[in-house]
Copies of this chain bind each other. A is one copy, B any other.
Amino acid sequence: MLELAILGLLQEGEFHGYEIRKRLRDELGLFANISFGSLYPALSRLEASGAVTATELSPGTPTAPLPLTGSLGGERAALRARRTGTARGTKRSRKVYRITDRGRELFVELLDAEEPVGTDEARSFSLRLAFARHLAPQARLSLLERRREQLAGRLAADRARAAGGDFDSYTRSLVEHSTETTEHELSWLDRLIESEKQKQTASPEHTGPRTLGAASTAAKGSES
Contacts and interface: CB of A to CB of B under 8 A. Distances in A.
A180 B169 contact: no
Interface size class of A (residues with CB under 8 A): 20 to 34
What is the oligomeric copy number? 2
A157 B181 CA distance: 20
B132 A170 contact: yes
A101 interface: no
Contact of A161 (B29, B129, B178): B29
Interface of A: 26-27, 29, 32, 126, 129-130, 132-133, 157-158, 161, 164, 166-175, 177-178, 180-181, 184-185, 188, 192, 222-224
A182 to B, nearest CB: 10
Contacts of A29: 157-158, 161, 175, 178
Determine chain A's interface SS by DSSP, over half rule. Answer: helix
Contact of A168 (B133, B169, B177): B133
6 contacts: A26-B161, A129-B170, A130-B170, A130-B174, A168-B224, A181-B184
B166 A224 contact: yes
A166 B29 CA distance: 13
